[in-house]
Amino acid sequence: MAKPAKMLLNVPAIKADFPILQRKVRDRRLVYLDSAATSQKPKQVIDATTDFYSRYNANVHRAIYELGEEATREYEGAREKVAAFIGAKSPNEIVFTKSTTESLNLVAYGYGLKGKLQKGDEILGTVMEHHSNHVPWHFVKDHKGAVLKYVDVSDDGTLKMEQYDELLTKRTKIVTVALCSNVLGTINPVKEIAKRAHEVGAVCVVDAAQAAPHMPIDVQDLDADFLAFSGHKMLGPTGIGILHGKPEALEATEPLLGGGEMIREVHLGRASWNDVPYRFEGGTPNIAGAIGLGAAVDYLTNLGMESVRAHEMEITQYALDKIGRINGVTTYGPKDVKKKAGVLAFTIDNAHPHDVASILDVEGICIRSGHHCAQPLMERYDLPATARASFYVYNDLEDVDVLAAGIKKVQEVFA
Amino acid sequence: MMADLRELYQETILDHSKRPRNFHEIPSADASAVGHNPLCGDRVTVFLRLSDDVLSDVAFVGQGCAISKASASLMTDAVKGKTKAQAHELFQKFHRMVTGRPGDPVDTPSLGKLAVLSGVCEFPVRVKCASLPWHTLEAAIAAKKEIVSLE
Ligand SMILES: Cc1ncc(COP(=O)(O)O)c(C=O)c1O
């Protein structure tokens, strides 16, 4: 197979920005293929957080002195960057949380559990969700008597949209779906899903954890009510997450954390709340995390999200061709890269994914093995576990070649 | 193969994982227990037949990685005919071996064939795979109920 001569992104220059990619693992070049779990961080992000701590560390929104003003400016600046990154109308639509998980829990508690949902109201999810988009809704079922329903996936890894239409009724109050599956890589037709949800009066919640880092997102175009993602999967620090909400959706959501910052006035026994989005950011937030996230957004914006997506499509196509065609290897999810993000779940005949990961580890290759926090999906395909390689801006076709060679080694061991 | 990998996937281990011994149910078992490692989806069921204090028959079924399968297979061979106390003692020694440091001396005289799994200590994330069958065995021993005869 001939390799395309030049990749869309300048990968050698990008690699040079990531200090960790200079290190060796077990005396081998590090081939990091687990960005779907967490991405590596460029020095621009690391420097931004260090800079905060070493030059202007102070609490935000409180201090009446220069340092505090700088910290607040940078923290709010990050909110503006994130808003622009996903096409939000205003930074006030951006809530900082600690992760996608917290963002989804905030919606489940604040909109579902403490909000207007009634016993018998239906929440419609899908079987391909990550655990963080399953379990919070279980709470709403358990405490409020909501009814949970799920759209199935076809064998090709796409959602059964005709079943969605059947399950979607006037009783449906919340539809919740991943924009991109962390196992199959499937890119779901969320714009269409949100449109149909709105037709029956439901709100649409989107888990964009695997999408926001990898493809352009325009919340105006998607028109979902809530959209959650994590900083650490998009070159940013851990401990910072994002919830985007339409103004009316956020107004209808009750806060999760009571405390400082989220209030307007507090008296003994009662309090009034601050405006959205501060209402949801009780306590001292992850200031360094937000500032690092802002630097990550700058980095991705500089590369251009269209280019990032095109780059990953190229690698994914190459991986599907190269790995998918190895005898004894099965890949899961869509085979059409237009419908698939840079996530490749696979199994090797006669080799358990754990053994695959251990053998690849010795080759310096980091992949994931297990159920990927998507047990219902694994049950649907009757798989105890799979291996998973995932790609990002610092990967190139050579990384896929190294993976393919590693897979051959696995096959030799288990021949 | 690299050295540490060759340690982990020795011939004996591969052999036991591909052709596990005592790999069947015991329909009239005196006790059984299910072990599950949710992290990797490994699942093993251990069956026991007891004559007083002696594990007169031990078998397993399940799915898992090569390490957990080989470990289960080797374990059933190793504890068959042993008393509960001897089996427990063997588990202690086995556990010490797989959680030890690379290069630590291995108690081959008491561990016998189980010593082939000593390479696991180089791969801390795989210790759970190797010890799952043993934990399940202990649970089966603890779970032993008097078999009620329905005459
Ligand atoms: C699709 C999807 N949703 C949600 C999450 C949870 O993200 P976090 O652990 O950052 O909260 C992940 C992370 O693995 C994911 O892949």
pLDDT tens, position by position, A130-184: 999 999 999 999 999 999 999 999 999 999 999 999 999 999 999 999 999 999 9
Please count the other Cβ atoms lying within 10 Å of the Cβ belonging to residue A83. Answer: 20
**Domains in chain B with CATH codes:** 3-143 (3.90.1010.10)
pLDDT tens, position by position, A208-229: 999 999 999 999 999 999 999 9
Identify which of B8, B38, B39 has the shortest CB distance to residue A358. B8
CA distances from A231 to A3, A149, A300, A414 (A): 32, 29, 12, 39
Pick the CATH number of A11-37+305-413 from 1.10.260.40, 3.90.1150.10, 1.25.40.10, 3.40.50.12280: 3.90.1150.10
pLDDT tens, position by position, A72-105: 999 999 999 999 999 999 999 999 999 999 999 9
pTM of the predicted model, to two decimals? Answer: 0.92
Q: Which residues of B touch A409 (CB under 8 A)?
A: 1
Q: Parse chain A into domains and list their residue ranges.
A: 11-37+305-413, 47-301
Q: Which residues of A touch B40 (CB under 8 A)?
A: 352-354, 369-371, 384-385
Please count the other Cβ atoms lying within 10 Å of the Cβ belonging to residue B61. Answer: 18
Whether CATH 3.40.50.300 fits A47-301? no
CA of A133 to the centre of ligand 1 (A): 9
Least confident range of A7-11, A307-311, B82-86: A7-11
Task: Say what the pLDDT of residue A395 is.
Answer: 97
CA distances from A371 to A103, B38, B119 (A): 22, 8, 25
pLDDT tens, position by position, A313-342: 999 999 999 999 999 999 999 999 999 999
The ligand 1 site (C-beta within 6 Å) comprises A 36, 99-101, 130, 132-133, 178, 182, 207, 209-210, 230, 373
Q: How far is A410 from chain B (nearest CA, A)?
A: 10
CA distances from B8 to A409, B65, B66, B69, B99 (A): 14, 12, 10, 13, 14
Task: Say what the pLDDT of residue B38 is.
Answer: 75
Q: What is the dihedral of CA A18, A24, A28, A32, to 10 degrees?
A: -40
**Is A204 an active-site residue?**
no
Among the listed residues A180, A204, A366, A373, the single catalytic one is A373
Mean pLDDT, range A35-59, rounded to an integer:
98
CA distance A334 to A313: 12
A384 touches chain B (CB under 8 A): yes
Mean pLDDT, range A224-239, rounded to an integer:
98
Q: H or E segment at A108?
A: none
Q: How far is B140 from chain A (nearest CA, A)?
A: 23
ipTM: 0.84
Task: Say what the pLDDT of residue B122 is.
Answer: 85
- Does the distance separating the beta carbons of B40 and A355 come in below 8 Å? no
Task: Say what the pLDDT of residue B144 is.
Answer: 56
Kindly report the average pLDDT of chain B as a whole number: 88
CA distance B151 to B148: 9
The closest alpha carbon to A47, from A17, A21, A79, A22, belongs to A17
